[in-house]
């Protein structure tokens, strides 16, 4: 698995200290970070210091003047104005993760929201709240008496999650979930960001209620996020199978917001789940460094998970049959199996799809499809075809799964970067945001009911569908060249073959929903590549896969870069 992950990063140098425990020099000064949040003021005239909503909200660092009090005041005011304009009259559910900047930003937001007369629901135990838990709370609140979902009307709810996901400890993040419970659409985030940047010009004039006073307001409503979510999990996971089999699941929350959820799951369902590391440390000093030498809490990275792997291989495997992980806001998962290490997210998606659609969710809608991002492995396509399901291929970003999960058009949505969610056992929506807890629990359910762990089931799939090699390469480019990607069409690709095979398709829109992919994807019988620009850096990314050989994959990547460069040169 480590070699496979090296392939993922073969477009850039892997740091010499990747996989080693963080040293004192790698750790953030938390006091200085929080001080900068309050003391440093961004310059609205500097593009990098403005409010910028990516696919998962606004992210940045107080040390770079990209995530400061001024940003959160302005964004919170913009959200308050948006929800008023949209007629959202219900409570706003707000959660936060374990990053050092999350608590200050959470407090700032509450000050602004209360000043705007917004009912704010906070955690009853003053605890951390995972991203999927906020989504589940919103959707439960907005469910009609007949079990269908509402997204407009009286007392409709929305939410905010204060998190930069798996980003380094220096970072903060702030994302808005509208009434559909998942990541806001580009149209909504653009409107909020535009208004926030207007407000940023004179942010000190925005009305606020001092935090201590705000917390005494009738507008603050306490809500037990953890109890609400855990009690509802029975409608998603077969805990009886887990309990009766005695499967032993280990969990590493990576110092994140799910840390206090697992003990309650054991208490409610009688499961055998052990938390390997319950430490919460805003410096994440216990982490091993990721591929680029940074502290990054990514449960799908063998570098970030190296400390856990070492503990397991030193004897901890005696206590567990398999291990799962979650990132700081618990919207990503990682699956670790004995003898194989951290599973590639693509491989686990393929295993989940075959299991879930193979008779283990009989009440799911017969017409509901399998959602995947178009840069996820074609192994998933082959599995979906073998079980006669509908494949729904969308652009990069989990936001594309919000509407189809909400409506039930897809029963499962997964992306190559270890994010997924799927429907309740009765076929109703569970979350419309990524949920890192249910994939870990599902791995235990799969093991309990099949007698094989997910890595063993993946090996079975390889025997039936073939082995593939997958990579992503990042290439420096310019802003001008990045902008050219939007103008690419199928005619921009003059090549007729890739790696010796005829091209079977040239795509600039996703076949699952017709949305522009912001780049292009080219397929052959046994290989494919996709190219798209980064939303935050001056690079473009080439994803590629081959079912032939590693050497063929190298050829695909090389020819893909030629195809992209030729297309952009026109």
Q: Which of 165, 421, 527, 546 is an active site residue?
A: 165
Is 296:15 a contact under the CB 8 Å cutoff? Answer: no
Rounded to whole angstroms, how far apart are CA atoms 430 and 528?
Answer: 32
Instruction: From 450, 403, 453, 454, select the one nearest 429 (Cα to Cα).
Output: 403
Dihedral sign from CA coordinates of 234, 235, 240, 241: negative
Q: How many CA atoms lie within 13 A of 122 on its CB side?
A: 23
Q: Of how many residues is the chain composed? A: 570
User: What are the φ/ψ torsions at residue 309 (nearest 5 degrees)?
Assistant: -60, -40
Residue whose entry in the numeric block shows the structure tokens 């709810």:
157
Q: From CA 506, how far away is CA 503, in angstroms rounded? A: 8
The encoded tokens of residue 26 equal 């790698």
Nearest partner of 238 among 447, 80, 91, judged by Cα: 447
CA atoms of 235 and 113, how far apart (whole Å): 33
Residue tagged 């740091």 (tokens)? 15
Q: Could you give the C-alpha distances from 549 to 69, 495, 501, 511, in angstroms and in order?
A: 51, 21, 13, 27
Give the whole-angstrom CA distance, residue 443 versus residue 534.
Answer: 32
Sign of the C-alpha dihedral computed for residues 55, 56, 61 and 67 taken in this order:
positive
Half-sphere exposure of 343 (CA within 13 A, CB side): 30
Residue 228 CB neighbour total at 10 angstroms: 15
Q: How far apart are CA 60 and CA 37, in angstroms?
A: 11
Q: Tokens 């295993």 identify what position? A: 351
* Closest to 136 in 3D by CA, of 229, 32, 54, 64: 229
Verify whether residue 165 is a known catalytic residue: yes
Q: Which helix (H) or strand (E) holds 383?
A: helix 378-386
Q: Which helix (H) or strand (E) is 299 found in, with range?
A: none
Please give the backbone phi and psi of residue 49, each rounded to the nearest 5 degrees, phi first.
-100, 5
Which residues belong to the active site? Answer: 165
């Amino acid at each position: 698995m480590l070699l496979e992950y090296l392939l993922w990063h073969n477009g850039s140098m892997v740091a010499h200290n990747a996989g080693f425990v963080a040293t004192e020099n790698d750790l953030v000064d938390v006091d200085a970070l929080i001080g900068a949040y309050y003391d440093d003021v961004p310059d609205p005239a500097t593009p990098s210091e403005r409010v910028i909503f990516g696919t998962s909200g606004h992210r940045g660092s107080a040390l770079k003047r990209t995530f400061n009090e001024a940003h959160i005041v302005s964004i919170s005011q913009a959200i308050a104005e948006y929800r008023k304009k949209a007629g959202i009259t219900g409570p706003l559910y707000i959660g936060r993760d374990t990053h050092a900047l999350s608590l200050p930003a959470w407090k700032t937001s509450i000050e602004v929201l209360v000043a705007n007369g917004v009912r704010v629901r906070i955690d009853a135990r003053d605890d951390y709240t995972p991203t999927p838990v906020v989504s589940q709370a919103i959707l439960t609140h907005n469910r009609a008496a007949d079990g269908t979902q509402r997204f407009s009307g009286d007392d409709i709810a929305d939410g905010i999650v204060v998190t930069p996901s798996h980003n380094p400890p220096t970072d903060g993040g702030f994302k808005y979930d509208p009434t559909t419970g998942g990541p806001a659409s580009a149209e909504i985030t653009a409107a909020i960001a535009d208004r926030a940047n207007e407000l940023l010009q004179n942010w000190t004039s925005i009305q606020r209620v001092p935090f201590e006073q705000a917390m005494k307001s009738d507008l603050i409503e306490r809500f037990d996020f953890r109890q609400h979510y855990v009690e509802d999990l029975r409608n998603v996971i077969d805990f009886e199978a887990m309990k009766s089999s005695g499967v032993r699941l280990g969990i590493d929350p990576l110092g994140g917001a799910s840390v206090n959820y697992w003990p309650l799951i054991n208490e409610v369902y009688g499961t055998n789940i052990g938390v390997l590391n319950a430490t919460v440390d805003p410096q994440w000093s216990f982490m091993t460094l990721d591929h680029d030498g940074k502290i990054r809490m990514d449960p799908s990275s063998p570098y970030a998970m190296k400390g856990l792997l070492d503990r397991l291989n030193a004897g901890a495997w005696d206590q567990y049959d398999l291990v799962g992980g979650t990132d700081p806001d618990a919207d990503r998962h990682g699956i670790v199996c004995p003898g194989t290490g951290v599973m590639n997210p693509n491989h686990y998606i393929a295993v989940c799809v075959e299991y879930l659609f193979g008779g283990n969710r009989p009440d799911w809608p017969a017409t509901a499809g399998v959602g995947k991002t178009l840069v996820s492995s074609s192994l998933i396509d082959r599995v979906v075809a073998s079980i006669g399901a509908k494949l729904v291929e969308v652009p990069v970003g989990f936001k594309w799964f919000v509407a189809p999960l909400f409506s039930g058009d897809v029963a499962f949505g997964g992306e190559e970067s270890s994010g997924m969610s799927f429907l309740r056992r009765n076929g109703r929506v569970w979350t419309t945001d990524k949920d890192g807890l249910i994939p870990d629990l599902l791995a235990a359910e799969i093991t309990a009911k099949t007698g094989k762990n997910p890595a063993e089931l993946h090996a079975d799939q390889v025997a039936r569908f073939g082995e593939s090699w997958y990579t992503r390469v990042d290439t420096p480019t310019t802003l001008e060249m990045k902008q050219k990607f939007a103008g690419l069409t199928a005619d921009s690709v003059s090549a007729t073959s890739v790696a010796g095979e005829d091209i079977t398709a040239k795509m600039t829109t996703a076949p699952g929903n017709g949305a522009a992919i912001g780049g292009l994807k080219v397929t052959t019988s046994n290989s494919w590549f996709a190219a798209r620009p980064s939303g935050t850096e001056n690079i473009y990314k080439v994803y590629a896969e081959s079912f032939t050989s590693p050497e063929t994959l190298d050829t695909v990547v090389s020819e893909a870069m030629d195809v992209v460069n030729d297309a952009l040169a026109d």
